[in-house]
Chains A and B, each alone.
Chain A
């Protein structure tokens, strides 16, 4: 395999990085954990582009938990998220998504910022961020701005990251007032799989089983993650039961627009998008549950 030519820089501070980006043209590529960039390098997709490695920036590291907010540095790895007590408290669905992301080796390298900026329709951290209305903090040499994840991600691989900007951190309102925090992922195998459909769900249930608030975000069923106010509004105030969810079937179908690809057909994704909704009526299994099989 021929290694494409690329200049490579690894700034040591955020200031250094944004100054550097100001001087570079927009053909440069940001590298965080490198788990996607490495495959693009190998395939030649980013041949000839300069690489700016953000992995040494201390400002992108760390998870900070405040009273009502969780701030996750864009350079935090999926392994760190999966094992963070703060994330387990403030964003349990994200913690679950991180725990089933790729493989252990990938989780040790890949960052949440990289997963967001990749903007894959199948990105596993995205639905949990959508249900918590994550805000992204972007910084350049001249200014810092905040944008919601829904506005930031515009399409597959298309993001609102301006020349010279770096995604610094992700801000989440803690979802403590929800009783259920779910993340489910369907892939061709049980690890190291690209999501064919995924669903993050937050539900606040009354003691008698009525949905008081619900937020749902589907991945891999449209160019970007799907949240549907119609589905959420329809389910609010109704009991969390199969009958209710079954009635939402047509609304879900209207909200999503999946495609056929190498991994699955659109028809499969349409059905499973609802299948995962039905799963909300069950207890979520812990990932390593052991069944008595003898």
Chain B
């Protein structure tokens, strides 16, 4: 395609949902107007691990305003959900595995009545031993949380001769890194609503990242035919991975199935904290060695993922953490094992990055430690080991194109050199130390070594109007705008002129989950494929009419014209009419499934992803050695996205990712049993935000739509490692556990001997 003709791609487009949200239109589940709806509430376990001896709902059922109380016995279909492994009952039948497990569902006329009924339900528990620590869970005599055992999954990646390579290394560093449970803390707590349509279909509105998955799961839980369920994604106020699980959808479905009345369920912030997935805490022991020149030669990593009570996306997290553990570097010899283990902690699932952010904290700390041992600058250490075209990854995949890590490092280089020359060494305020750190990353787009297709349709009506049908849930990241831009580019129309039917399972086909930074790349390609087929039909017809070769024709602003003869045109509507007369369908199907190869279960060799995003952040921090306070002064964030379809959207993702990365790096920690709500879970405020310099790098991906890859998760991943490396640079002492909160930073300052005065070392009793 002639690049000059591209007008819709690479331009900032106002988000298609901007106006309705700015106006405050009632678009979220909690806003929906339903006729005389029932309110749903769930009784949740107060015990972490216990058999349920008895659930007595008699008294509660008789309280005023109660429509019905449901327990596991009422579930007509298969009472197990889970996108990867099915282990999560909607309502627990016999035992609870974490505090917050769902025991009974109340449908009531009012919220007050529902609350009263919850308090009247009597549950008799028989406590079982509680396992909080995944190491404990792996012991042979540990009580089994699930009948299948506590080890859910192992991912191994083996390549080369690791032990021999370590023998030949000039420098070897081995450390253990730990991260915490995190809460996603999206703006909109989980919510759903529904009613039964005249034809008996259960219509469920949901705040969700994956309506087609919800659809199948609800049909399976209820044991009803697929056509009896319709999921409509309501406006979704963020998800970050947690809205990939069933949250309210199953409960709404169950109540609709039995009661036939409209229902609504909106989680309080407390329930959202208690009952939904968390980020997996990982313990990563990693040994990395280089030759005397600083070339990475070998890596051994042992990764333990605490998935809590249920699998959710735990298998994907363990797999991705293992694949990404080398970082965006060539490491010829690797031996990596990641274990995913059940405990009685809150269940952990997907959260922006699936284990890659935790892994990046480890491998980027290792890079700085090695650079320090070798006396090489952290930037050079990364540049000389960075992946390139022709490199092999730890899974033996040969990278052939769009390997933009060097471009990212080069984009950051002038900033790095300037701050290292001046800012880093200018006198800092008293009791403050300045530090500069780098964090690089790679991120495979799409699911790991699995098929993950997307489908889409484009339809042109007799008036020439275009409708895009996509199952892709826009959860605030802007996918509907991007997909409209792609369709608009293909069809020579303004993105705003394309009607978009989105994430309604009655009218759209499966686009897969809005996860793994996959929608621009995968659904973008599906839309492009569908639009391309429509263009093909139009141009074939026009070619016959205009007596011009198809190759010289283009569609633009409602006309088909000859590129070489601007006078030679025909209105698209004329062609559409001809097509209709000939009985040609102008609804075209598109699909795309990235080419991957499953990973070998023993060696992990294969092609996990068709393409990778790359990034490097530079962090400038000022650390207060009296208090452990860290001010992040600036983040320079270079991201290889292949092609920025909507640059404003890419930059928005980078800003949001940096904010979330600062939370991950410095302050966020969900403590099971203690953390209740945003009252005691601190996320960054605007005052904690640094100056951000986003740099969009475009190393085009040949298989991507217009070269695009993805940025949603990559935006978050490098920030925490960069900040942690900067703190280490400031203090001369490294922190190995996230978050690097006030306490840990001050401990590091004391250990580094930079806490002033004569009491710096010994802690008074």
Stretch at the interface among A74-82, A167-175, A191-199, A232-240: A191-199
Interchain nearest-CB distance for B480 vs A (Å): 32
Stretch at the interface among A136-144, A204-212, A277-285: A277-285
Q: Which residues of B contact A246 (CB under 8 A)?
A: 756-759
Query: Is A278's CB under 8 angstroms from B431's CB?
Result: yes
Cα of A239 to Cα of B496 in the assembled complex, Å: 70
Query: Is B671's CB under 8 angstroms from A249's CB?
Result: no
Q: Which residues of A contact B685 (CB under 8 A)?
A: 103, 189-192
- Residues of A255-282 at the interface with B, using a CB-CB cut-off of 8 Å, are 262, 264-265, 267-268, 270-272, 274-276, 278-279, 281-282
Query: Is A274's CB under 8 angstroms from B111's CB?
Result: no
Interchain nearest-CB distance for A109 vs B (Å): 16
- With contact pairs A188-B682, A262-B671, A293-B691 given, residues A268 and B743 touching in the complex (Cβ less than 8 Å): yes
B741 part of interface (Cβ distance < 8 Å) = yes
* Interface of B, helix, strand, loop or mixed by DSSP: loop
Interface size on A, residues (CB 8 A): 40
B505 part of interface (Cβ distance < 8 Å) = no
Query: Is A190's CB under 8 angstroms from B620's CB?
Result: no
Query: Is B757's CB under 8 angstroms from A271's CB?
Result: no
Q: Which residues of A contact B620 (CB under 8 A)?
A: 293
Q: Which residues of A contact B671 (CB under 8 A)?
A: 262
Q: Which residues of B contact A279 (CB under 8 A)?
A: 431, 626
Cα of A282 to Cα of B419 in the assembled complex, Å: 25
Interface size on B, residues (CB 8 A): 45
A242 part of interface (Cβ distance < 8 Å) = yes
Q: Which residues of A contact B684 (CB under 8 A)?
A: 189
* Mask of B237-276 contacts with A, CB within 8 angstroms, 1/0: 0000000000000000000000000000000100000000
Stretch at the interface among B392-400, B569-577, B579-587, B627-635: B627-635
Which of B111, B431, B629 sits near A186, CB closer than 8 Å?
B629
B423 part of interface (Cβ distance < 8 Å) = yes
Cα of A268 to Cα of B688 in the assembled complex, Å: 21
Interchain nearest-CB distance for B743 vs A (Å): 5
Query: Is A294's CB under 8 angstroms from B764's CB?
Result: no
A253 part of interface (Cβ distance < 8 Å) = yes
Query: Is A281's CB under 8 angstroms from B430's CB?
Result: yes
Query: Is A264's CB under 8 angstroms from B743's CB?
Result: yes
Which of A253, A268, A293 sits near B764, CB closer than 8 Å?
A253
Interchain nearest-CB distance for A114 vs B (Å): 17
Query: Is A189's CB under 8 angstroms from B627's CB?
Result: no
Q: Which residues of B contact A292 (CB under 8 A)?
A: 423
A39 part of interface (Cβ distance < 8 Å) = yes
Known: A1-B111, A264-B743, A293-B691. 19 other contacts (CB 8 A): A39-B679, A189-B683, A190-B688, A191-B686, A191-B687, A191-B688, A245-B757, A246-B756, A246-B757, A246-B758, A262-B680, A268-B743, A268-B746, A274-B757, A279-B626, A281-B430, A282-B430, A285-B429, A293-B419
Nearest 5 pairs between A and B by C-beta?
A: A275-B626, A2-B115, A190-B687, A246-B757, A191-B687
25 A/B residue pairs, CB under 8 Å, sorted by A = A1-B115, A1-B268, A2-B115, A186-B742, A189-B682, A189-B683, A193-B682, A196-B742, A246-B756, A246-B757, A246-B758, A268-B743, A270-B763, A271-B755, A272-B627, A272-B746, A274-B757, A275-B626, A275-B755, A278-B431, A279-B626, A282-B431, A291-B633, A293-B691, A294-B634
